[in-house]
Structure 1
Amino acid sequence: MEETISLQEIFSILKKRLKLIILLTVGATLISLIITQLFITPQYEASTQFIVNQKDTGQEAQYDINDIRSNVEMINTYNVIIKSPRILDQVIEEEGLSLSVGQLSSKIQVQNADNSQVVNVTVSDSDPYLAENIANTTYDIFERTLPELMNIDNVSILSEANVGANPSPVSPNLMLNVAIALVLGAMIGVGLAFLLEYLDNTIKTEQDVDDTLGLPIMGVVSTITQDEQNGNYTRKRRRRGDRIGA
């Protein structure tokens, strides 16, 4: 026979294990806060933008949608060139970086938004001003090297990377990490509460006797607390004192 559990029993279990749930929730939140603040290095981003345009080659040609489509397709080639050793080796040399090409490549993201002709070169680093310098240097070297590689010159800078005077880190996100830890801690606490209740096979109530043994209840012995015993003892002494005084 399948066992069912009512809402009243669910709330009773949660109330019974409420301290455990709160402890795990608060603990997970504090751990997330400490790890985020003390052990995760903040990361900053700097981006430079350039546009791929159609330069006049000296021949009369109409600038139409096909030109734009051709430039957008060319961007995929540019994305590969920007992160190639030909470009990044020069960036490492000019900036004096102690990084390999692979390590520097992992810090750089190149993408164009919504299939446009605008390309974003974004650099992530723990030093915001180093990220800014790498982004600008990468574009400068790419612009100088492109005519040598493809015999074309159709890129123009839109905006240079500039993190400002007081840059803000893009990661870690303290509020997001704390919120995730809070929800996760609460879920673990609730799950552990039901697990402990499931594993608890001790008999505590008359219903437990009926469910476990299948025997009728003949009687119940009430529990008398120490305060009740002291109270009864005091009342008895008072009654005896009243009788003696009478």
Structure 2
Amino acid sequence: MEETISLKEIFEVLKKRLWMIIAVTAGAAIISAIITFFVLTPTYEASSEFIVNQAESMDENSYDVNNIRTNIELISTYNVIIKSPAILNEVINTMDLEMTAEQLSQKIQVSSAEESQVVNVTVTDESPAMAVGIANGTVETFEQEISNLMNVDNVRILSPAVESADPSPVSPKPLLNIAIAIVVGLMVGVGLAFLLEYLDNTIKTEQDVEKTLGLPLMGVISTVSEEDLGPETKNRNPSRASKIRGESVGT
């Protein structure tokens, strides 16, 4: 027989385990904040741009659609070359970096807008000054070496990276991390509440008796408190009542 659960039962479960759900959510947020502020190392970004264009005079007659199309098609090749060991090893030697070409490649991202001759080189590092230096050093080395690698002279630095006076880290993002932790903690807390309710097989209501034993319920013995008996019962002398009951029994 298929079992169904009503919205009222769902709310009852959530209400019953509300403090547990709140505790799990708060714990997840606190753990995320501790990791974000005290464990993770902030990282900074610096970007340098170069343009792919033929070294010609910039008068009206110098613009050639075919040359522009060729330069745009070359950008895909340049994006691969700029992260190759041929360029990165030269950057490492020039800047005396203590890392391999593969490690340096992981710090560099190369991108360009569609149908654009401008290429953006973004470097991420734990030091803002180092990020600026690697970004500029990579673009400068690429500009010098590309003519030897491909026998072309169409790369010019457009905008070098500059270190700001008060750089802001790009990672980690405290608010985002805490928000994600709250959502995850809430989901875990709700799921745990329903799991505990599902595993709880104790008998609490009349319906539980009928469901467990498969027998009709004949009656219910209610619990009577002193408040339900009224003030007369509260003020009655217990010893006097016992004596009267004893005399009645003897008679």
Following the alignment from structure 1 to structure 2, what is the Cα–Cα distance between the partners of residues 110 and 2? 57
Is the CA contact (8 Å cut-off) linking 2:140 and 2:157 kept in structure 1? no
Query: Which residue pairs with 2:235 in the alignment?
Result: 238
**How far did residue 44 of structure 1 move?**
0.7
Where structure 2 has 5 or more consecutive residues not aligned to the other structure, the ranges are 241-251
- C-alpha distance after superposition, 1:131-189 (max 9, x if no partner): 00010011111111122222221112221111301111111111111111101111111
Following the alignment from structure 2 to structure 1, what is the Cα–Cα distance between the partners of residues 232 and 132? 84
- C-alpha distance after superposition, 1:14-69 (max 9, x if no partner): 11111111111111111111111111111111000111112339xxx873433222
Following the alignment from structure 1 to structure 2, what is the Cα–Cα distance between the partners of residues 237 and 77? 95
Q: Report the more deviating stretch, 215-224 or 103-112.
A: 215-224
Query: Which residue pairs with 1:56 in the alignment?
Result: 56
Query: Which residue pairs with 2:248 in the alignment?
Result: none
Query: Which residue pairs with 2:135 in the alignment?
Result: 135
Following the alignment from structure 1 to structure 2, what is the Cα–Cα distance between the partners of residues 107 and 141? 16
What is the CA RMSD across the aligned residues, in angstroms?
2.3
Query: Which residue pairs with 2:27 in the alignment?
Result: 27
SS at match of 2:102: helix
- C-alpha distance after superposition, 1:184-234 (max 9, x if no partner): 11111111111111111111001111222222222222234xxx4489698
Query: Which residue pairs with 1:80 in the alignment?
Result: 80
Q: Report the more deviating stretch, 151-160 or 29-38.
A: 151-160
Paired letter, 1:119: V
The within-5 A match list for 1:1-246 is 1-56=1-56, 63-224=63-224, 228-229=225-226, 235-236=232-233, 238-240=235-237
**How far did residue 111 of structure 1 move?**
1.4
Paired letter, 1:106: Q
SS at match of 2:114: helix
Is the CA contact (8 Å cut-off) linking 2:47 and 2:122 kept in structure 1? yes
**How far did residue 237 of structure 1 move?**
5.6
What TM-score, normalized by structure 1, do the two folds share?
0.88
Paired letter, 1:238: N
Is the CA contact (8 Å cut-off) linking 2:136 and 2:161 kept in structure 1? yes
Following the alignment from structure 2 to structure 1, what is the Cα–Cα distance between the partners of residues 206 and 177? 46
Paired letter, 2:153: D
**How far did residue 240 of structure 1 move?**
4.7
Number of matched pairs:
236
Paired letter, 2:97: L
- C-alpha distance after superposition, 1:108-149 (max 9, x if no partner): 111112231110011110001100001001111111112222
* Greater C-alpha Rg: 2
Paired letter, 1:85: P
What TM-score, normalized by structure 2, do the two folds share?
0.87
Following the alignment from structure 2 to structure 1, what is the Cα–Cα distance between the partners of residues 157 and 167? 22
